[in-house]
Amino acid sequence: TVSIQMAGNLWKVHVKAGDQIEKGQEVAILESMKMEIPIVADRSGIVKEVKKKEGDFVNEGDVLLELSNSTQ
């Protein structure tokens, strides 16, 4: 999985189910305190499910992406 490191509003999600993502890739942007905070994947894999949608309020530790075949 790819999790969210801090609370805020999910502004943009760059990936969808089926996408191959790479470790270090920016997968979404969070908005908090009027800052745009990139969410960067800490592992590679194929997106099985996007658990949050744009506009959602998210908390630190929430899961953003379920991955299959994930590798660190």
Structure tokens at 45: 């894999």
Region near another protein per CB under 8 A, out of 14-22, 39-47, 61-69: 39-47
Closer residue to another protein in complex, CB, 36/49: 36
Q: Give the helix ranges, DSSP H, for the chain.
A: none
The sign of the CA dihedral 26, 30, 31, 37 is negative
Is residue 51 within the footprint of another protein (CB under 8 A)?
no
3-state SS, residue 50 = strand
Is residue 22 within the footprint of another protein (CB under 8 A)?
no
Region near another protein per CB under 8 A, out of 1-9, 14-22, 45-53, 63-71: 1-9
